[in-house]
Amino acid sequence: MSTINPLDNPKTFTKYDSADIAFGVERLSQQLKAAFEGVETVNVPKAYKAVDHVLIIGMGGSSLGGHVLQTGLSDRLKASIDLMRGYSLPKWVNSKTLVILSSFSGNTEEVLYAAKQAKARGAKVMVIASGGKLASLAKRQKYPAYIFKPGDLAKEPRLGIGFSVAGMLGLLESVGLVKISKKEKLALVSAMIEVVDSCALDVSEKENPAKQVAQALKGRPMFIVGAEHLTGVAHVLVNQINETAKQFAQLHELPELNHHLMEGLAFPKGMFSKFTVLILKSGHYHTRVQKRVPITAKIFEKLGAEVIEYEARGASKFEEVAEVLQFGSFASYYLAMLNKVDPIDIPHVEWFKKELSK
């Protein structure tokens, strides 16, 4: 008697997904639509258009949208973006710096600590949060703010990546640092919906590439390799695998890894044979990076690892970003189901926060 594949059995999802985060995973595009509409109502003073640098401050899942935009729009942004994941502002932050404070909960201590410094430096401050102390601060200080209501679409920061990406993008648009047409925004939503059509929960594993990738990753430590515009979304995938699937994953970037990492995998002897490397491919990469991908894969295989390649196929770089965001959300969710863990639970993070508050 044959058994039902766990990823094709609805009971698997009801058993391990207590908060039904699958609802939001399948509707990630709705986060983008809501954020694009919501951020349009944010009032931005004219003085905010006189900035020459951007610093996005956030931790964990709340910082991911900034990394996605930093790498995904690097060829379109009119000012450089830096990311800060900590307490202390760089010395160069001043009145011509746009500081975006990002916290899903609105209560992230590092972000709130940095907010005081940003005010003292006279920086142009913007806020993105779902509420909490940060939303209250924005109201008191009259900072331009996108305050979103995640509802059932996102119950954890890493699951609210659509709100984060589209919300921050809208804030950057509002100060004239980037321009994304309505047609392009619709294309991002469409790219996500196309992934849903092939990767949704009710699509069998035989026809579902996200379920297939999850099966290949099960029980194996992994490297996620991205390049250029897909580096930020590779980071999102690492974060989601860590927190959602409770599995080890580490980010590496081409071409940088070619200059050192490959020599560091020989020892401990036999260790790397337990690894899987997931490489994100793109026809939009620089031609030299495209040439590096298959050569790098051969070296990883020679060193004993299993290699999986996922090729994004968007008409534009940013469409590929949206595509991989959606695909990675599915793959990490299915990996959690195979690991028989509740994707909403983050026990070690919660324990750490409690200890830190003592």
Q: What is the CATH number of domain 203-338?
A: 3.40.50.10490
Q: Which residue has the higher pLDDT, 61 or 8?
A: 8
Which CATH architecture best describes the domain 20-180? 3-Layer(aba) Sandwich (3.40)
Reply yes or no on whether the pLDDT at 255 is more than 60. yes
Task: Give the mean model confidence (pLDDT) for residues 226-238.
Answer: 98
pLDDT band at 182 (very low <50, low <70, confident <90, very high): very high
Q: Which residues contact 143 (CB under 8 A, 6 or more apart)?
A: 125, 126, 127, 137
Predicted confidence at residue 3, as pLDDT, reads: 72
What are the start and end residues of each CATH 3.40.50.10490 domain in the chain? Answer: 20-180, 203-338
pLDDT band at 1 (very low <50, low <70, confident <90, very high): very low
pLDDT band at 4 (very low <50, low <70, confident <90, very high): confident
Model pTM?
0.96
Reply yes or no on whether the pLDDT at 266 is more than 50. yes
Predicted confidence at residue 2, as pLDDT, reads: 53
- Residues 99/73, Cβ–Cβ less than 8 Å: no
Task: Give the mean model confidence (pLDDT) for residues 69-84.
Answer: 96
Task: Give the mean model confidence (pLDDT) for residues 105-110.
Answer: 95
- Residues 89/117, Cβ–Cβ less than 8 Å: yes
Phi, psi of 254 (to 5 degrees): -90, 145
Q: What percent of the chain has pLDDT over 90?
A: 96
Task: Give the mean model confidence (pLDDT) for residues 58-71.
Answer: 95
Strand partners, 249: 222
Angle at 67 between CA 46 and CA 329, to 5 degrees: 120
Tokens of residue 242, six digits: 């860590």
Task: Give the mean model confidence (pLDDT) for residues 134-152.
Answer: 97
